[in-house]
Amino acid sequence: MPLLSTGTSRRRLVTAAAVGFPAILTCGRAFAAQDPFTQGVASGDPLADGFVIWTRIAPDIFAEDGMGGAPDGLPVRWEVARDEGFRHIVKVGEALARRAFGSTLHVEVSGLDPDRPYWYRFIAQGVNSPTGRAWTAPRPDAAVDRVRFTAASCSHWEWGYFSAYRHMAQEEDSRFTLFLGDYIYESPGQPLVGGRVRSYGDLPEADSLANYRRRYALHHSDPDLQALHAAAPAIAIWDDHEVQDDYSGIWSKQLDQLPPARFRQRRQAAYQAFVENLPVRLSRVMRPEGYRIHNRLHWGRLAQFDALDGRQFRSPPACIEQGSGKGHMTAIDCPDLEDPSRTFLGFEQERWLYDGWNRSTAEWNVLVQNLLIAPMVFDTPKGPVIWTDTWNGFGAARRRLIDTMVSSGIRNPVTLAGDYHSFWANNLYRDFDKPGQKPVAAEFVVSSITSSGPPENFYKNAMPANPQIRYFDSTHRGYMAFDLGSDRLDVRMMATSDRTDRHATAYILHSASVEAGVPGLT
Ligand code: FE
Ligand code: CA
């Protein structure tokens, strides 16, 4: 459902636009005097012949109705050029910013050359947006030596500045950014004590379309996040906080107050705000049956990336206690864990994934998803327990996933996750209980941009019982950078110096690698 315009009911505006975007239109002086591009620009979903470019018209970022103070149907011109100075413009068009879609624009640009940079911008009311840079993917059959990309998750506004995003934007030659979830947090504002550095202001808990939109509007006012989006295309999936903490499918953490029928409505509003505000390909995502964010990306013959939706189609949480669908610690003999009728991805998405793996000829197969896959068992006086919200709460589904990694014969599987506010490097095994096996894949979990980590000592103490976890650090915030080549994958865990410092520096906290042909961590 791309918003490329032809006909329109706002002829007056289009006529004005057609004669060259005068600075003042007749649609309201107060609006015309303001910058329509307060939210920056973004690109996403790179293919070999194009990508999506995004912006949002929001002269009044925090308008209470979530609309950003934009008039309906404002015509916006867009331009894509081969050079930063826009001397060689190769594609132009006009789109209408519709209030029904949160005044956002998602233009699906095609007909471009593979594997090269392009620059893009929008023009409304005679005002130019900032310029963004995108990069097309190589042709699927192209031989590719190397690609660099970065990954992020968990950017809680109140807990700090987004310096990690700024440093990701400065990663030279990064071709795309993976957002692994918790891009926003729906939670109510907290008093600014105990290390919190900035506030949601008067934004209430996000639970309606207007208030989810306002959360994104706040985030997209951040210069570091804007810089990252302007530097490289995004591939974005959601985790829980884009909707509600720890929800699972249509089961909310408050099963009594928000039974599935009511929670489904809230979830619908949250999903709508997500697709409006991230540079996703609407022709793929907007389906009659709902939102489909899972997505496959090819980077030449070098890599296949399968980006997953790990929330929408999930079964209810394992061994629910006291009417709450929230993640909790449960005994490892909770019978739900091994119930094969429970699913993490939904059976349809599982089939889609396994089908993609069965056909894959890529040298590397990267799973881009939200939650920790490796088992993490805690010994307690009452016996061993696991945290139900991750793949740990879906043991049978995890076994299907890892078994299929092996049976499909995919080359060099690697999995990525976020959510845990900590850096991890893990080995995945077919049977975690049998010692002496060879790993099937390496798993990398990226820490948070700002969100607080889990208690370091509690986790460190549990590590001897979890030999599949090879590296863990919950005290640092940051991102991950990946250099993927035919011969090896090098991973840098990048920590920021101080989330409370707007000018924080970044440094390598830990490096890890995977050798082609040798599954697991090197
Ligand atoms: Fe988080
Ligand atoms: Ca999460």
474 — phi, psi (to 5°)?
-110, 5
Spatial contact of 468 and 429, defined as CB atoms under 8 Å apart: yes
Q: Which is it for the CA torsion 106, 107, 110, 114, positive or negative?
A: negative
- For residue 77 the two structure tokens come to 């011109």
> 451: Cβ–Cβ under 8 A, 6 or more apart, which residues?
154, 155, 156, 159, 182, 185, 421, 477
- Looking at all shown ligands, the one closest to residue 237's CA atom is 2
Q: Which is it for the CA torsion 377, 316, 406, 480, positive or negative?
A: negative
- For residue 519 the two structure tokens come to 């599954």
Neighbours of 43 (CB within 10 A): 29
Neighbours of 395 (CB within 10 A): 21
Spatial contact of 450 and 479, defined as CB atoms under 8 Å apart: no
Distance 7 CA to ligand 2 centre (A): 42
pLDDT confidence bin for 195, thresholds 50/70/90: low
Q: Which residues surround ligand 2, an ion (CB under 5 A)?
A: 182, 239-240, 419
Position 17 pLDDT exceeds 70: no
Distance 53 CA to ligand 1 centre (A): 26
In this prediction, residue 23 carries a pLDDT of: 34
In this prediction, residue 33 carries a pLDDT of: 54
Give per-residue pLDDT as tens, 395-414: 999 999 999 999 999 999 99
In this prediction, residue 321 carries a pLDDT of: 76
Supply the mean pLDDT for the chain.
Answer: 92
- For residue 119 the two structure tokens come to 């620059």
Distance 417 CA to ligand 2 centre (A): 10
Closest to 137 in 3D by CA, of 442, 440, 362, 406: 362
**Mean pLDDT on 75-104:** 97
Closest to 43 in 3D by CA, of 130, 152, 143: 130
3-state SS string for 36-74: CCCCCEEEEEEECCEEEEEEECCCCCCCCCCCCCCCCCE
Greater confidence (24 vs 478) lies with 478
Distance 77 CA to ligand 1 centre (A): 36
What one-letter code names the amino acid at 168?
Answer: M
Closest to 45 in 3D by CA, of 273, 257, 281, 213: 281
Distance 419 CA to ligand 1 centre (A): 5
Alpha helices in 328-445 (DSSP H): 347-359, 395-407
Spatial contact of 177 and 164, defined as CB atoms under 8 Å apart: no
Lowest-pLDDT choice from 176-180, 187-191, 284-288, 331-335:
187-191
Total residue length of the chain: 522
Distance 376 CA to ligand 2 centre (A): 16
Distance 154 CA to ligand 1 centre (A): 4
What one-letter code names the amino acid at 428?
Answer: L
Closest to 133 in 3D by CA, of 122, 125, 121: 121
Per the DSSP assignment, residues forming a β-bridge with 386 are 330
Spatial contact of 390 and 330, defined as CB atoms under 8 Å apart: no
Give per-residue pLDDT as tens, 109-135: 999 999 999 999 999 999 999 999 999
**Mean pLDDT on 326-344:** 95
- For residue 403 the two structure tokens come to 């078994």
Distance 207 CA to ligand 1 centre (A): 17
Cα–Cα distance for residue pair 279/449, rounded to 1 Å: 20
Spatial contact of 299 and 144, defined as CB atoms under 8 Å apart: yes
Distance 327 CA to ligand 1 centre (A): 13
Cα–Cα distance for residue pair 395/415, rounded to 1 Å: 17
Cα–Cα distance for residue pair 180/390, rounded to 1 Å: 14
- For residue 105 the two structure tokens come to 């624009």
Cα–Cα distance for residue pair 450/162, rounded to 1 Å: 7
In this prediction, residue 10 carries a pLDDT of: 30
Alpha helices in 322-468 (DSSP H): 347-359, 395-407, 456-462
Distance 479 CA to ligand 2 centre (A): 15
Distance 69 CA to ligand 1 centre (A): 30
Spatial contact of 8 and 22, defined as CB atoms under 8 Å apart: no
Cα–Cα distance for residue pair 315/321, rounded to 1 Å: 15
Position 5 pLDDT exceeds 60: no
- Looking at all shown ligands, the one closest to residue 327's CA atom is 2
- Count Cβ neighbours within 10 Å for each residue of 199-208 and write b for 16 or more, e otherwise: ebeebeebbb
Distance 152 CA to ligand 2 centre (A): 12
pLDDT confidence bin for 320, thresholds 50/70/90: confident
Distance 310 CA to ligand 2 centre (A): 11
C-alpha separations of 162 from 148, 213, 510 in Å: 21, 19, 20
Percent of the chain scored above 90 by pLDDT? 87
**Mean pLDDT on 375-382:** 95
In this prediction, residue 364 carries a pLDDT of: 98
In this prediction, residue 171 carries a pLDDT of: 98
What is the SS3 assignment for 346? coil
Strand-pair category, 303-307 with 364-368: parallel
> 184: Cβ–Cβ under 8 A, 6 or more apart, which residues?
155, 157, 206, 212, 215, 216, 219, 241, 242
> 503: Cβ–Cβ under 8 A, 6 or more apart, which residues?
163
Give per-residue pLDDT as tens, 255-286: 888 999 999 999 999 999 999 999 999 999 99
In this prediction, residue 188 carries a pLDDT of: 87
Residue written as token pair 């909790």: 328
What is the SS3 assignment for 217? helix
What one-letter code names the amino acid at 24?
Answer: I
pTM score of the predicted model? 0.93
Distance 479 CA to ligand 1 centre (A): 13
Position 176 pLDDT exceeds 60: yes
Closest to 379 in 3D by CA, of 428, 424, 419, 329: 329
What one-letter code names the amino acid at 414?
Answer: V
- Looking at all shown ligands, the one closest to residue 156's CA atom is 1
Lowest-pLDDT choice from 115-119, 144-148, 321-325, 403-407:
321-325
